[in-house]
Amino acid sequence: MALWGGRFTSGSSSMFKQVNDSLPFDQVMASQDIHGSIIWSRALNKAGVLTDDEQAQLEAVLSSLKQQAEEGTLDFASSAEEDIHSFVEAALIEQLGDIGRKLHTGRSRNDQVATDFRLWVREHIESLREDIIGVIRSLLSAASRHQEAIIPGYTHLQRAQPIHFAHWCLAYVEMFKRDLSRLDDAKKRLNQCPLGSGALAGTTYPVDRDAIAEALGFTSPCLNSLDAVSDRDFVLELLFTASTSMMHLSRLAEDMIFYNSGEAGFLQLGDSVTSGSSLMPQKKNPDALELMRGKCGRVFGSLQGLLVTMKGLPLAYNKDMQEDKEGAIDTVNQWHICLCIASEVLDSLQLNEARCREAATQGYANATELADYLVGKGIPFRTGHDISGQVVVHALEKGCAIEDLPLEDLQSICDKIEDDVYPVLQLEFGVNQRNILGGTSKETVTKALYQELEALDKLS
């Protein structure tokens, strides 16, 4: 039964139903839709549109439908209704007849869907926050398990300077903290209630919009009815936050795929998050990480898709906007799965600290230390940089590390170099020299790690 049959003399074509119906996907908002309807019935009662008895009957049926929605027992599959709003209204009419027909007084599916989807996004923001906190927890736990470990730090994927493994973990913690704050911001902006805006121009019934907003947990009603029914910024903000966070997950995945490679060999991934090859018996592939990286495509696509859909839409509601849902629902699912799998990967990884140390020592990653040492001997940094470069060339020719060159060789390049250079060239020396806020020294990293562990409790 369509909600708008009176104006029509013939029914919809089956192809039109395929393009028009949203019940196959907007059924995920069943519980939010019903909750909104309960609050609307109370508002209509206070406004004198529904009697106490009518409202009580509506609320009883709606509450039972809500329970069925939450138990997953509503039968959407055999329904021919257009969307979740008509599905619920049809169920009410089936059980209550004319009383069911009164609920939509003063309301439009336009303010209804805008309200339902805000409620749905808001609920998912809460659960996604917990997922992100889970990743932060796993990163901090990996950092705590390997506080002494030193890995090569890279720029241009060339070994650059050694860093603590915990410093690498804490870099990702910063990214996920920003994702959390983006979600919190998005929630603040979405938390206005469209209900009472009608189709586009507001409603003639004297419902108390402040009370409706409050009952639905919003901070205030939306202030303009045209904007209220046509705004989908809250979906875009969710999709942008998801895209940014998926980009962070993808970079984390890429780092770990490389660290796990035979060439790097810094870490091993757990059996529970890897798969084998059907042909090559020796293979253990980082599929979970590759999918964290790969799923960025569809998530970024959903953001782009909705931006393009919204661009150029005239005020107020247009059916184009129904296209906001499938991409957002998929994004929330994929982001949730990827955050959970990232935690599992981090919790199950085995770091090969000896191999990390060996790699951090190789590749002339202490050449900056030599340049800084020369600065300490009164040489300008640019000159010291040049001298250190010449030392690297010399060591490359001899096929050894800088610290393995005899003093005479070093002095033949620069006579300011003395015996005290050798401790400076040791791995820990350079790392621990970076004892500045945000740097990679043991002291700074340990302090940062404990601060983050302490802050973790306040995040949830």
| Binding region for ligand ARG (CB under 6 A) out of 35-43, 105-113, 179-187, 363-371 | 105-113
* Distance from C-alpha of 370 to C-alpha of 378, rounded to nearest angstrom: 13
Q: Is 26 in the site for ligand ARG (CB under 6 A)?
A: yes
Residue 81-100 contact track with ligand ARG, rule CB under 6 A, x = bound = --x-----------------
Find the shortest distance in angstroms from Cβ 111 to ligand ARG: 9
Cβ-based nearer residue to ligand ARG, 115 or 432: 115
Segment 306 to 325, residues that bind ligand ARG, using CB under 6 A: 317, 319, 321-322
**Among 14, 156, 278, 460, which one carries the catalytic annotation?**
156
* Distance from C-alpha of 284 to C-alpha of 428, rounded to nearest angstrom: 33
Taking the alpha carbons at both ends of the chain, their separation in whole angstroms is 45
* Distance from C-alpha of 40 to C-alpha of 104, rounded to nearest angstrom: 9
Nearest by Cα to 442 from 172, 167, 142, 138 = 167
Cβ-based nearer residue to ligand ARG, 26 or 255: 26
Choosing from 102, 109, 357, 442, the residue that interacts with ligand ARG (CB under 6 A) is 109
Find the shortest distance in angstroms from Cβ 109 to ligand ARG: 4
Cβ-based nearer residue to ligand ARG, 166 or 321: 321
Structure tokens at 147: 């506080």
- What does the angle CA 355 – CA 422 – CA 420 come to, to the nearest 5 degrees? 155
Backbone angles phi, psi at 203, to 5 degrees: -120, 155
Prior bond of 160 cis (ω within 30°)? no
Q: Is 209 in the site for ligand ARG (CB under 6 A)?
A: no
Backbone angles phi, psi at 317, to 5 degrees: -75, 140
Find the helix or strand (DSSP H, E) in which 163 lies: strand 158-164
Question: At 182, which amino acid appears?
Answer: R
277 an active-site residue? Answer: yes
Which residues, listed in sequence order, are joined to residue 150 by a DSSP beta bridge?
164
Find the shortest distance in angstroms from Cβ 83 to ligand ARG: 4
Structure tokens at 434: 């970076």
Indicate the SS3 state at residue 220.
strand
336 an active-site residue? Answer: no
Q: Are 117 and 192 in contact (CB under 8 A)?
A: no
Which residues, listed in sequence order, are joined to residue 192 by a DSSP beta bridge?
220
Segment 391 to 410, residues that bind ligand ARG, using CB under 6 A: none
Find the shortest distance in angstroms from Cβ 236 to ligand ARG: 15
Applying CB under 6 A, the site for ligand ARG has a residue count of 10
Q: Is 113 in the site for ligand ARG (CB under 6 A)?
A: yes
Cβ-based nearer residue to ligand ARG, 108 or 441: 108
Find the shortest distance in angstroms from Cβ 102 to ligand ARG: 20
| Binding region for ligand ARG (CB under 6 A) out of 95-103, 109-117, 176-184, 402-410 | 109-117
Indicate the SS3 state at residue 156.
coil
* DSSP assignment of 306-348: HHHHHTTPPSS--GGGGGHHHHHHHHHHHHHHHHHHHHHHHHH
Cβ-based nearer residue to ligand ARG, 29 or 339: 29
Cβ-based nearer residue to ligand ARG, 156 or 319: 319
Cβ-based nearer residue to ligand ARG, 20 or 348: 20
Nearest by Cα to 439 from 116, 161, 205, 28 = 161
Cβ-based nearer residue to ligand ARG, 2 or 160: 2
Q: Is 116 in the site for ligand ARG (CB under 6 A)?
A: no
Beta strand segments in 303-403, E = 350-351
Residue 54-83 contact track with ligand ARG, rule CB under 6 A, x = bound = -----------------------------x
Q: Count CB-CB contacts under 10 A for residue 455.
A: 13
Q: Is 22 in the site for ligand ARG (CB under 6 A)?
A: yes
Choosing from 32, 110, 260, 343, the residue that interacts with ligand ARG (CB under 6 A) is 110
- What does the angle CA 220 – CA 336 – CA 299 come to, to the nearest 5 degrees? 85
The contact set with ligand ARG (CB under 6 A) reads 22, 26, 83, 109-110, 113, 317, 319, 321-322
By annotation, the residues acting in catalysis are: 156, 277
